[in-house]
Amino acid sequence: MEDLGLFPFDLLGQALKNMVPTCMARVSQKFQRCVSNLGMSGFIHLILVELLPVYFFCYAVYNILVTVLMESQKEVNKGLAWPSFDKVQKCLHRFSQGLIWLDFYIDSEKCYDAKITSYPKTSLDDETLNAKALGIINYGCLLSCSLLWLLVVGSFLCHVRCMVWRVPFQSGEYL
């Protein structure tokens, strides 16, 4: 807006540029004061902020597994005609979720059939170990992240002697 040089816009642009950082700083300070006054602020910060990389890692592994399965099936069946992009995407997403959660198996070629509206699910007992490998990776990731979460929270509880309501956020003792 400053590049315009017009009378009201140059003043408005400068005022917004100066006000936004101070406004955001005030909101952040008030939020930190409010959270630090809570009794369990250290525990809440540990669960929500310090363990955030663990949550992101679980989601990233899941998302990569879904993407790898969907793209591999698109490559395997690239010679087939697509009835509709949304239908194929939805079906392949359902296919990958079934394999990742070791729940069911859908024949991916049926995703490209325009006449089929429901996809028959079969049990994974009929499939080989290769089809179950991604599900095993997914459950292994969930198990390792859950164990890390329990280790961090357990260490915190031992450190504060299970008195989570007495650990303030700003002291840093909970770390």
DSSP-assigned states of every residue in 117-128: SS---B-GGGS-
pLDDT tens digits, one per residue of 64-93: 999 999 999 999 999 998 888 999 999 999
> What pLDDT sits at residue 121?
77
Q: Which of 7-16, 54-63, 108-117 has the highest mean pLDDT?
A: 54-63
- Please tell me the pTM assigned to this model: 0.70
Ramachandran angles phi, psi of 11, nearest 5°:
-70, -40
More confident residue, 168 or 83: 83
Output the CA–CA distances (angstroms, integers) from residue 101 to 30, 63, 131, 140, in the order listed: 43, 13, 11, 11
105 has which bridge partners? Answer: 122
Question: What is the residue-averaged pLDDT of the chain?
Answer: 81
Residues 6+ apart with CB under 8 A from 100: 62, 65, 66, 69, 134, 135, 138
Residue type, 87: K
Whether the predicted pLDDT of 7 surpasses 90 = no
What integer pLDDT is reported at residue 174 of this predicted model? Answer: 62
- Encode pLDDT of 104-159 as tens digits: 888 888 888 888 777 777 777 755 667 788 889 999 999 999 999 999 888 888 88
More confidently predicted of 3 and 73: 73
Task: Write down the pLDDT at residue 141.
Answer: 95
| CB atoms near residue 76 (< 10 Å) | 11
pLDDT at 1: 41
